[in-house]
Structure 1
Amino acid sequence: MILSPSSPALIGAPDPRGKPLARRTLLQAALAGLAAPIPAFAQDLSQAAPLFLELVDPYTEETRARGPRRAAPFTARFRHLGRRLDFVAARHDVAPEGETFRAIRAAFTRLEPRVVILEGFPTAWGYSPQRMRDLLAAAEAGGPLDSYLRGEPGYAMRLALSGGVRFIGGEPASHDVDQGLYAMGYAREDIAGVKMLQWLPQGRVAGEFDAAADPRLADYLDRAAARVAADFQPQIPYSRAAYEAWHERQFGRSVHADPELFQRLDPSRAGRAAEISRAMTLLRDRHLYALIIATLVPAARTLVVYGSAHYITLRRALEAVLGRPRYV
């Protein structure tokens, strides 16, 4: 049985005898839907909790309008049947004294999490993966500290490591996302272009460039293109020049002279790029939702640190399982 988007979040669907299922039963059903507990990372978590996947919304203007009427960052605190989940809906930032970092610190202090789910790397890497710890160690030793490590994921990782708390990536494998997009009929060059566009706001927030006309954008695009090339399995040849040509074909102007550069993937936008971005986000969020459910063992204390858009798309599914949160 799959709940429809109109199913009452706090009551649930009727059982075969015509009686409403309590939230306890909903949570047990979601957990029972997991074929294997974490850390069976090779398993496709997008299939793990089919009972509620239909409640994970695409990121559209309508979904955003239904979200909580508060500006990010904020924290949604869920408490149900002895299980505790705090979701820090972040505004991407690199400022240690900014509101996002303060919200993360407060969540660590208040919740004392047992597991932290972070944006930006695959669940399949396992708990507290060595490759992420190596990146942090290299940065602390004077190596490169990019916008990701300087941002809220890197900060949450450092807090987790200092407190002996396990952390795990909330992303599906890139290959799985790509295969899902191919199945929807999207071309690889369009998927690559959208991935490039998704890197741009993070670079601007980190101060790596300021605007489309900033000369530093070219260097940032070189680095982003290398990441995008490595993101495909098998790796593809990809370059800044390839992206620049795609951007001009797609939007009719150079990326270096595009006044709408940072709005191209806005959920209110029409067009193929925004459409692919919404599809990509939905695939990611279904995986993230299933991972969150998988951590909700008895007495769980799970902390999620993700961009606020992801909370907006997951809100109805999480409320179906855990009830309404308190916002702080």
Structure 2
Amino acid sequence: MNSWKANLFGVAILLIFAPAIALAATPSIDRWSLELQEAEPFESPFVTIFHYGEKRVCFVSSKHDPRRDSPTSRTIAAVIEECDPEILILEGLPNIIGEGDREYFVREAEKCEQNPDSYECGELHWAIAEVKDAKTVIVGAEPVTIEEMEFIVQQGNGTLGLEDFVGYEISRLIIQAKRQEDFHIEDVPDLVVNHLEYLRSVLPKTEQYDEASYRRWLEDEVGLSYSELENSSYAPGNDEGSNLLQIMSYHSMLTRDHFAFERIQELLKEADSIFVMYGSSHLATLRRALTENSTHVVNKKYE
């Protein structure tokens, strides 16, 4: 289980019934499509710098690659040096993260520097490592788990339920873990058990699910086994050829984009330079919304 999730059990449960952001109020966020992605100026990783007068948002379009010396990691370092951000908004960190959590995340990043091949480490940790000796604030923008679940199930119009969301959450974690060099397929059952423990702490009525029921769900509803799960298995999609994971990823992406956009707008009131790092699809869908009030936009690739 991701170690930061374990540390947030108590905080997350306090916010279980926090009201979600009104998604319809956020302008110009596009739904993901292959055409939208192909219109991006470069292949990831790269940065788009949105200028708003004297303020700027340096948005890294990351290619998910957990290696410490990956092109994404090198791009992160270059952008942080160029933009000198006051705040980091990092994919994967919930919106309940605040300045008081900085010390914990720096410790986690230092552990990853000592053991960079661990499946718990990735570009999030390398970004934090770049600012560990600075005063940069580290925050998140992800919806808490129950907010994301409620939105995805609602979008399903009666076709999706709690079991589907639990399956989606576990599948997403397995796919992320598979990117690490030290990952072994034999580790999956323990990974599932650990993540179910986390989900039980933040979602009601999940005690009935176990590793065996998840495996059955994956095979029956998605048509895949553990070994067949890969990045493309949950690439956002919402057409007749999309599997259940892809459909839920499509809906998840919309709510996550809205939360990210609102967080950026909120923090621009406080800071002159903000570093944002999300996967390439999120910059593609947020580009139009972030461009609308900008005074100047620069796209840059460092390699």
Identity among equivalent positions (%) equals 23
Once the two structures are superposed, the pairs formed by residues 1-328 of structure 1 within 5 Å of their partners are 46-47=21-22, 50=25, 53-65=26-38, 67-129=39-101, 132-133=104-105, 136=108, 139=111, 146-148=118-120, 150-184=121-155, 185=158, 186-209=160-183, 214-233=185-204, 236-256=207-227, 258=228, 261-268=230-237, 269-297=241-269, 300-322=272-294, 325-328=297-300
The TM-score normalised by the length of structure 1 is 0.74
The gaps in structure 1 that reach 5 residues or longer are 1-41
Q: Deviations over 1:205-227 (max 9, x none)?
A: 112436xxx43434443444444
CA contact (8 A) 2:50 2:298 kept: yes
Q: How large is the RMSD of aligned CA atoms in angstroms?
A: 3.1
Which residue type is aligned with residue 64 of structure 1? Answer: Q
Shift of 1:322: 1.6
Structure 2 CA distance for partners of 1:45 and 1:175, relative to 1, 3 Å: closer
Structure 1: which amino acid aligns with 2:86?
R
Relative to structure 1, the CA distance from residue 180 to residue 218 in structure 2 (aligned partners, 3 Å threshold; closer, same or farther) is same
Kept in 1, the 8 Å contact 2:152–2:251? The answer is yes
Contact 1:208 1:220 in 2 (8 A): no
Contact kept, 8 Å, 1:101 with 1:152, in 2: the verdict is yes
- What residue in structure 2 maps to residue 9 of structure 1? none
Gaps of 5+ in 2: 1-16
Structure 2 CA distance, aligned partners of 1:237 and 1:113?
A: 45
Q: Which structure has the greater CA radius of gyration?
A: 1
Inter-partner Cα distance in structure 1 for 2:192 and 2:182 = 11
Question: How many residues align structurally?
Answer: 278
CA distance in 2, matches of 1:272, 1:231: 23
**Local SS of the residue matching 2:131:** helix
Asked if 1 retains the 8 angstrom alpha-carbon contact of 2:117 and 2:181, the reply is: no
SS of 1:264's equivalent in the other structure is helix
| Residue identity in the other structure for 1:266 | A
Aligned equivalents of 2:19 and 2:267: distance in 1?
15
Measure the CA separation in 1 of the matches of 2:290 and 2:220.
Answer: 40
Distance 1:179 1:298, change over 3 A: closer
Distance 1:238 1:138 in 2: 34
Letter in 2 for 1:105: A
Say whether the 8 Å CA contact 1:230–1:236 is kept in structure 2. Answer: no
C-alpha distance in structure 2 between counterparts of 1:143 and 1:95, whole Å? 11
In 2, Cα distance between equivalents of 1:237 and 1:145: 34
Per-residue CA deviation, residues 130-151 of structure 1 (Å, 9 max, x unaligned), is: 6843762883798998534x21
What is the TM-score of this pair, normalised by structure 2? 0.79
> Which piece of structure 1 moves more, 201-210 or 79-88?
201-210
Deviation digits for residues 233-256 of structure 1 (CA, Å, limit 9, x no counterpart): 576453322211101111335334
Deviation at 1:287, TM superposition (A): 0.5
